């Protein structure tokens, strides 16, 4: 079989001429008497030499020529090779395909076409919601997390009210047929509400499945509380006041006389149990106790400090969960935060701490408060990317009160090779920004399951977002951390991330201010795109009503000053459409459609799949899950929730 790398100049010119012949014919059918009848060539030359020079649109047009091209354009190798040079995020395949080790005939083509239509839609001046659907459940949806692939969603549920309220964690199949009225396939009962849900496809002990982590809060009984923490009614040791913690936000602390604990749990569900939940006879088997509990408890970790932002990751082929322990600040003490990682390869519910490190205070800021806002583990290079905020010394403002500037830093810490590590210094550090008050920090996560092969060898840039709420109007800033060529043996010569001055590039150029002065903004960030939701500054409810919805698409400025968004590729015949001058445009939602819920009842939980173009959100204590699709394919796709009424394909 021939490969393009083995061709000489004459053969390459011949393949280029044949490609130009196809371009000139466009949608016209080729006859046997045509001067450039490609059917006379061998299939190896057509697949290896001609197809790589054509665009996706041209290959789809060739499908209508004759039976030969119809069969060749369905070859998976054609679309897989195009995907290897594809710069757009490609949707992940369904987990059942990973489980069976065989990809469908049209999965690669469907993923590429969907990625192109999503990119074209989000590049428009008014991106449109191409598909909308709502799923109704018989319970309140408190929190959501969409799994890669967009087919399954993990939800924190609640039934009943008051003292009779019951909580659970469930997995729902959101692409189920319309006749299925109860799309929940697996449900796990919980004693309290689940916060900070993270769910990813992961292997565990030679099995493939879903790893789910979540945090719960509990009151500390007086019998187990320290003597100094016991309340005024310590004589009744088991008495706990009826103050429902689940009615308050996760950031809120309980009263000091009634201490509480935070518990991190990790459960695992294999793909076989997940697929069995979709079968027709699974309910009867579960009811008769013939099938064991599908969820396996791997970790239960309870501490009196707040567990902040747990994240699942794989390191050295072993699943881990990393999080930040944040002690409560008081007027007299400022205990430091620490980063904890626990590996899940031992017995059930017996955690084995892989490392625990406490970052040293930043020089020249030893006597002020330090807070870890976001972490992201880089397992390939055994480092942790950390964003910290510190308050500088209080300075007198001539025309106002005393203010303390908030300084934001990004740092890289080496992962220690032992279980516990004391105070450590950062391997690299970089100053990000000075502001009065910042929030909504986010570091993108380009995780993919280890049992799914890499589509590209190059590392993707890491996106870092921050919202400055002290300014009016509020502004968000976006940086991209570009990988650099490796210079040590730890990465075996591959690219790696480092905090060099030229590696961290600001993408917004200036603060993005495209909304009113009285609007609060929330950034739901991705690796290359983001959604910006706005609500009134006077709306302080847990489910604030959406005033506007913007999509944010940066131009991807590289360290050399180039912009990658407008580079011509072989995706479409006429190249990619130019990105609009305004990089954050309003999403065009049809009146009376999906925007009514966001603007009338608000948004309390939001999750989305960036590569798939699927958005899921719920309102406060709502039993309806609303789904938006910003892309479609040329073939019937389970991801297209409106198959009959979806827009016709441009091909």
Structure confidence by residue, pLDDT tens digits, 261-277: 899 999 999 888 887 76
Query: Backbone phi, then psi, for 36, in 5-degree steps?
Result: -110, 65
Is the preceding peptide bond at 463 cis, omega within 30 degrees of 0? no
Q: Regarding predicted confidence, which is higher, 156 or 555? A: 156
On whether the CB atoms of residues 477 and 521 are closer than 8 A, the answer is no
The confidence score (pLDDT) of residue 375 equals 92
Q: Which fold has domain 131-364+439-629?
A: Methylamine Dehydrogenase; Chain H (2.130.10)
How far apart CA 376 and CA 354 sit, in angstroms, is 16
One DSSP character per residue, 553-597 reads ----B-TTS-BSTT---TTSTT-PPPPPSSSEEE-B--TTTTHHH
600 sits in which H/E element: helix 595-600
Q: State the pairing for strand pair 519-525/504-506.
A: unpaired
Predicted local confidence at residue 637, as pLDDT: 40
Residue-wise pLDDT for 57-100, tens only, equals: 778 778 877 788 888 888 878 887 787 777 777 787 665 544 44
pLDDT of residue 120: 82
SS3 assignment, position 432: strand
pLDDT band of residue 602 (cuts 50, 70, 90) is confident
Per DSSP, the three-state class of 162 is helix
Please tell me the distance from the alpha carbon of residue 609 to that of residue 81, in angstroms, as a whole number: 24
Q: Distance of alpha carbon 175 from its chain centroid, rounded?
A: 19
Residue 211 vs residue 91, higher pLDDT: 211
Strands 423-424 and 352-359: parallel
For 452-495, how does the pLDDT look when each residue is reduced to its tens digit (9 = 90+)? 765 555 678 899 988 877 777 777 888 889 988 754 445 455 67
Mean pLDDT across the stretch 516-526? 77
Mean local confidence (pLDDT), 622-632: 87
Considering only residues 324 and 642, tell me which one the structure prediction assigns the higher pLDDT: 324
Q: What's the whole-number mean pLDDT along residues 120-134?
A: 83
Residue 639: band (very low, low, confident or very high) from pLDDT cuts 50, 70, 90: very low
As a whole number, mean pLDDT of residues 231-250 equals: 54
Q: Which of 167-176, 202-211, 509-518, 545-554 has the lowest mean pLDDT?
A: 509-518
User: What are the Cα distances from residue 240, in Å, to 166, 255, 332?
Assistant: 18, 12, 27
Report CA-CA distances (Å) from 464 to 373, 413, 560: 12, 17, 19
pLDDT tens digits along 294-338: 888 999 999 988 898 899 999 888 899 999 998 877 656 677 888
What strands, in cross-sheet order, belong to the sheet with 131-146?
184-190, 166-173, 152-159, 131-146, 622-629, 614-618, 605-609
Q: Please, which pLDDT band fits residue 197 given cuts at 50, 70 and 90?
A: very high
Give the model's pLDDT for residue 20: 52
Least confident of 24-33, 354-363, 557-566: 24-33
Average pLDDT over residues 123-147: 87
**pLDDT score for 101:** 40
The burial of 366, by beta-carbon neighbours within 10 Å (0-12 exposed, 13-18 middle, 19 or more buried), is given as exposed
Alpha-carbon separation of residue 316 from 75, 320, 356 (angstroms): 35, 10, 18
pLDDT band, very low/low/confident/very high, at 206 (cuts 50, 70, 90):
confident
Dihedral sign (CA 126, 131, 136, 139): negative
The angle at the Cα of 372, spanning 371 to 378, to the nearest 5 degrees, equals: 165
The predicted model scores a pTM of 0.82
The two structure tokens encoding residue 371? 């807070």
Report the pLDDT value the prediction gives residue 233, as an integer from 0 to 100.
Answer: 41
8 Å CB contact between 180 and 155: no
**What are the boundaries of each domain within the chain?**
1-73, 131-364+439-629
* Tens digits of residue pLDDT in 567-578: 555 566 666 666
> Who has greater pLDDT, 637 or 370?
370
Q: How far apart are CA 505 and CA 519, in angstroms?
A: 27
Per-position DSSP letters for 521-559, written without gaps between them: EEEEE-SS-EEEEEEETT--SSSBPPSEEEEE----B-T
Q: Is residue 400 pLDDT above 60, yes or no?
A: no
Mean pLDDT of 374-386: 90
Distance (Å, whole) CA 188 – CA 169: 5
Confidence of residue 594 (pLDDT cuts 50, 70, 90): low
Provide the residue count of the chain: 651
pLDDT at 29 over 50: no
Three-state DSSP at 403 gives strand
Angstrom distance (rounded) from CA 246 to CA 192 = 8
Cβ neighbours of residue 278 closer than 8 Å, sequence gap 6 or more: 173, 185
Q: What proportion of the chain, given as a percentage, has pLDDT over 90?
A: 11
Hey, what long-range contacts does 591-595 have (CB within 8 A, 24 or more apart)?
593/129, 593/132, 594/129, 594/132, 594/626, 594/628, 595/546, 595/549
Which of 124-128, 187-191, 438-442, 642-646 is predicted with the least confidence, judged by mean pLDDT?
642-646
Higher pLDDT, 373 or 236: 373
pLDDT at residue 407, rounded to an integer? 84
Query: How much is the pLDDT for 331?
Result: 54
pLDDT of 372 higher than 50: yes
Cα–Cα nearest to 203, from 25, 434, 452:
452
> What is d(CA 208, CA 449) in angstroms, rounded to the nearest whole number?
9
Is the predicted pLDDT of residue 392 greater than 80, yes or no?
A: no
Rounded to 5°, angle at Cα 650 from 649 and 651:
90
Q: Using a pLDDT cut of 70, give the percent of the chain over it.
A: 65
| Contact (CB, 8 A) for 216 and 190 | yes
Please tell me the predicted confidence (pLDDT) of residue 330: 62
Q: Report the DSSP beta bridge partners of residue 157.
A: 141, 168
> Residue 133: which residues within 8 A CB-CB, separation 6 or more?
626, 627, 641, 642
Do residues 58 and 570 touch, judged by C-beta distance below 8 A?
A: no
State how far the Cα of 576 lies from the Cα of 188, in Å rounded to an integer: 46
Mean of per-residue pLDDT scores for the chain: 73
| 164: its two tokens | 């009779």
Is the per-residue pLDDT at 357 higher than 60?
yes
Q: Is 629 within 8 Å of 132 (Cβ atoms)? A: yes
CA dihedral 620, 621, 623, 628 (to 10 degrees): 10
Spatial separation of the C-alpha atoms in residues 173 and 278, rounded to whole Å: 8
Residue 12 phi/psi, 5° resolution?
A: -65, -40
């Amino acid at each position: 079989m021939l490969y393009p790398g083995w061709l000489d100049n004459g053969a390459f010119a011949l393949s280029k001429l044949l490609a130009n012949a196809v371009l000139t014919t466009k949608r016209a059918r080729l006859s046997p008497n045509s001067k450039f009848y490609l059917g006379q060539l061998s299939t190896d030359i057509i697949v290896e030499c001609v197809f790589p020079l054509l665009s996706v649109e041209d290959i789809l047009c060739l499908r209508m020529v004759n039976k030969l091209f119809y069969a060749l354009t369905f070859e998976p190798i054609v679309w897989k090779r195009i995907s290897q040079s594809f710069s757009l995020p490609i949707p992940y395949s369904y987990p059942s395909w990973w489980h069976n080790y065989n990809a469908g005939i049209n999965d690669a083509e469907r993923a590429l076409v969907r990625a192109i239509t999503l990119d074209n839609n989000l590049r428009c001046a008014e991106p449109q919601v191409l598909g909308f659907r709502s799923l109704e459940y018989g319970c309140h949806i408190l929190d959501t997390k969409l799994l890669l692939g967009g087919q399954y969603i993990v939800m924190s549920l609640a039934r009943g009210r008051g003292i009779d309220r019951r909580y659970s964690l469930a997995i729902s199949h959101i692409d189920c047929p319309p006749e299925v009225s109860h799309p929940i396939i697996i449900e796990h009962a919980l004693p309290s509400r689940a916060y900070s849900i993270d769910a990813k496809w992961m292997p565990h002990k030679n099995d493939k499945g879903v790893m789910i982590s979540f945090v719960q809060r509990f009151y500390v009984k007086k019998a187990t509380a320290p003597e100094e923490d016991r309340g005024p009614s310590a004589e009744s040791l088991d008495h706990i006041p009826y103050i429902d913690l689940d009615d308050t936000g996760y950031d809120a602390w309980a009263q000091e006389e009634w201490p509480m604990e935070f518990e991190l749990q990790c459960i695992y569900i294999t793909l076989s149990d997940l697929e069995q939940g979709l079968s027709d006879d699974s309910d009867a088997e579960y009811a008769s106790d013939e099938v064991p509990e599908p969820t396996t408890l791997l970790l239960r970790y309870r501490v009196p400090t707040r567990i902040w932002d747990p994240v699942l990751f794989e390191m050295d082929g072993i699943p881990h969960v990393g999080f930040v322990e944040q002690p409560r600040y008081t007027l007299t003490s400022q205990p430091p935060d620490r980063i904890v990682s626990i590996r899940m390869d031992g017995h059930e519910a017996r955690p084995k701490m892989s490392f625990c490190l406490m970052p040293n205070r930043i020089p020249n800021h030893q006597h002020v408060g330090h807070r870890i806002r976001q972490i992201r583990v880089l397992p390939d290079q055994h480092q942790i990317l950390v964003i910290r905020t510190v308050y500088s010394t209080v300075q007198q403002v001539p025309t106002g009160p005393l203010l303390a500037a908030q300084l934001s830093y990004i740092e890289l810490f080496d992962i220690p090779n032992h279980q516990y590590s004391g105070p450590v210094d950062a391997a690299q550090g970089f100053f990000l920004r000075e502001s009065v008050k910042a929030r909504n920090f986010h570091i993108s996560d380009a995780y993919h399951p280890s049992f799914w092969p890499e589509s590209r060898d190059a590392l993707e840039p890491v996106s870092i977002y921050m919202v400055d709420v002290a300014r009016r109007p509020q502004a968000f800033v976006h940086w991209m951390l570009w990988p650099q060529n490796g210079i040590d043996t730890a990465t075996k010569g591959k690219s790696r991330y480092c905090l060099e001055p030229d590696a961290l590039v600001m993408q917004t150029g200036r603060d993005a201010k495209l909304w009113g002065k009285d609007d609060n903004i929330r950034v739901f960030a991705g690796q290359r795109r983001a959604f910006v939701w706005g609500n009134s500054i006077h709306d302080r409810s847990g489910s604030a009503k959406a005033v506007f919805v913007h999509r944010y698409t940066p131009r991807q400025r590289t360290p050399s000053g180039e912009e990658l968004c407008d580079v011509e590729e072989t995706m479409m015949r006429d190249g990619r459409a130019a990105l609009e001058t305004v990089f954050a445009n309003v999403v065009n939602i049809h009146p009376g459609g999906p925007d009514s819920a966001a603007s009338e009842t608000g948004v309390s939980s939001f999750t989305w799949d960036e590569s798939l173009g699927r958005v899921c959100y719920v309102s406060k204590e709502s039993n309806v899950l609303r789904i938006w699709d910003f892309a479609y394919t040329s073939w019937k796709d389970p991801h297209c929730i409106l198959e009959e009424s979806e827009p016709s394909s441009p091909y």
